[in-house]
């Protein structure tokens, strides 16, 4: 990897596109926006009954879904669903395609597949990735259209 101080523009474009397929979320009552999962949890409050606000259920296709209930500062109860199976919608397919493009790009830059996958998942779940934060474009300056 290069010692260039600039972020890899292809990686940044790809990460932005990946996040855009899942967030932002918006409270329908007050219009507050939540940029990502971390922002969603940080700006909202736990359920008043002391529960974690997690509920497991079955989705339309019989897949296991975990719903996270939180209260918006306006008092509205919000829910975000997290599925442990593939999202079969067009949005889910676009997210998988973007994810695979980013994996391929990171591999072409010398990052091991398992590391690339782990770091992308960290970012998707609203956690920081030291590796991707410090990632630089290849020394050749060649970027792909991710």
Q: DSSP characters for the chain?
A: ----SS--HHHHHHHHHHHHTT--EE-TTT--EE-SHHHHHHHSB--TTS---EEEEE-TTS-EEEEEEEE-TTS-EEEEEEESS---SHHHHHHHHHHHHHHHHHHHTT--HHHHHHHHHHHHTT---HHHHS----TT------
CA separation for the pair 138, 144 (Å, rounded): 11
- What pTM was estimated for this model as a whole? 0.42
**Tens digits of residue pLDDT in 67-121:** 788 899 999 998 877 655 456 677 878 888 888 898 899 898 888 999 988 888 8
């Amino acid at each position: 990897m290069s010692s260039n101080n600039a972020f890899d523009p292809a990686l940044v474009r790809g990460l932005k596109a990946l996040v855009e397929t899942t967030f932002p979320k918006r409270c329908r009552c007050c219009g507050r926006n939540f940029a990502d999962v971390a922002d969603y949890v940080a700006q909202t409050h736990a359920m008043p009954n002391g529960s974690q606000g997690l509920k497991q259920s079955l989705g339309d296709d019989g897949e296991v879904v975990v719903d996270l209930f939180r209260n918006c500062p306006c008092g509205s109860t919000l829910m975000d669903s997290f599925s442990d199976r593939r999202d079969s919608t067009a949005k889910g397919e676009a997210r998988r395609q973007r994810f695979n493009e980013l994996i391929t790009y990171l591999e072409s830059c010398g990052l091991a597949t398992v590391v690339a996958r782990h770091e992308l998942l960290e970012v998707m779940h609203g956690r920081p990735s030291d590796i991707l934060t410090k990632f630089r474009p290849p020394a050749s300056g060649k970027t792909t259209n991710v």
